[in-house]
Amino acid sequence: MTSPSALPSAEALFDQMADAVYLIDPVTSAIVWGNRAAWAMLGLSREDVLDHSVLSLQLDVTGLPQWSEIAAAIRGQECFTFVGRHRHREGHEIHVEVNTTHFCLDGHAYFLSVARDVRRRMALEKDMQSRENQLWFALNEAADGLWDWEIATGRLFFSPQLKRMLGYSPDEMEPVLATWSDALHPDDRQVVLGILQAHLDGKRVRYEAEYRLRNRNGRYLWVHDRGRVCERDGLGAPTRAVGMVQDITARKELELQLQQLASSDTLTGLPNRRHGERFLEAELALCRRLGLPLGVCFFDVDHFKRVNDSFGHLVGDTVLQQVAEQAQASIRRSDLVCRWGGEEFVIISPNSNRAQLLQVAEKVRKAVMALAGTPRVTVSLGVAAFPEDGDDVEALLGVADGALYRAKTRGRNRTE
């Protein structure tokens, strides 16, 4: 019988393991110890791993706030399982299954994580699956996530990729419809549920929607979700539906940026003339239909050319930004102020008569006068009101422009 003293040390045994083992500080996420596979699996050195955050290895967990939530989940289970991706030194991904336990030793809390490279297992499972399951696997790899809804029982399967996209582990996300519907953005929920119900009722060939879905961190991702009923009972009622989800957040953010550029003035951040014209046409049509008044105010910066000539165009740009801020702060929430061009601005005030718009114009004039710094500037303003000054956009803008001209000729820094 071999004596205990002749047996290899625990550390030597750990170094013979094929799986990576990490001892982690739960608070800081720092790796305080690891076996040889902990760095060799990733093409790293011992120094690259020890005393570094375990988050530096992960592709699916980012930031201490998310780590804090996962740490809390680990403490709440005997063994917490997470399927994710580790980053190899050469840039490729290693799919791993990580099992983590928690314990205390000498008054210190630790997490012990065992990470297994599951790439070979995933390949074998793919080869062993039936034609239907192979198709499901292919769809799962092509999408950011799949779902399978057993309508009759209410059970809703979320694929590991879908859970990972939302920041959850494979053991999280209760498999019920409410888990998904409660995560819908409040502004999107009614529309999305309506589209889904219309498909279940046979009014739509398929279910397809773009909407915002809340992830584990409380951030909303834009997703493209599509699916259809694949099974029905003897009476034709839907019993099962499947679908796939794609993360389109990057595309949506780019679209929103392009829309913002198309309708906004880059210097002041205000809506531009194009947006203002569309807004004025739409609001005038609405006020005409409802029999409500509408006001338009033209204003510009007095002697603005002198500002540019005396102080330079950078100072002139700052003046325009300050005037825009004061105008924006002076109008009602239902009003719109836009940069018309150069130093000219327009305020559009639905459901405001001439007297009310004159009050808004005076508020803007006084706010600009109160601006501190050099140069001190003023604005002149001209107002027009529907219906007394005209029944169309061109007439109202013409009257307001004429009033602005009178304010200029009568001394500037006034409202006409």
Alpha helices in 143-239 (DSSP H): 160-165, 177-181, 186-200
Q: Residues 6 or more apart from 399 whose CB is under 8 A from it?
A: 296, 384, 389, 390
DSSP state of 247: E
* Active-site residue identified among 69, 172, 208, 343: 343
Cβ–Cβ under 8 Å, residues 65 and 217: yes
Task: Tell me how far apart the alpha carbons of residues 278 and 263 are, in angstroms, rounded to a whole number.
Answer: 10
Q: Strand, coil or helix: what is 327?
A: helix
DSSP state of 266: T
Instruction: Report which of 343, 262, 271, 356 is spatially closest to residue 305, judged by C-alpha positions.
Output: 343
Rounded distance between C-alpha atoms, residue 79 and residue 336, angstroms: 57
Q: Please say whether the dihedral angle defined by the alpha carbons of residues 143, 221, 254 and 209, taken in this order, is positive or negative.
A: positive
* DSSP letters for 330-341: HS-TT-EEEEEE
Task: Provide the token pair at 30.
Answer: 């720092």
Query: Which is it for the CA torsion 305, 307, 310, 312, positive or negative?
Result: negative
Q: What end-to-end distance do the CA atoms of the chain give, in Å? A: 107
**363 is written with which tokens?**
């508020």
Distance CA(93)–CA(46), nearest Å, equals 19
Q: What share of the chain is helix, strand, coil (3-state, %, to 5)?
A: 40, 30, 30
Active site residue 78: no
Q: In residues, how long is the chain? A: 416
Helices then strands (H, E): number in the chain?
A: 15, 14
Q: Which residues are part of the catalytic machinery?
A: 343
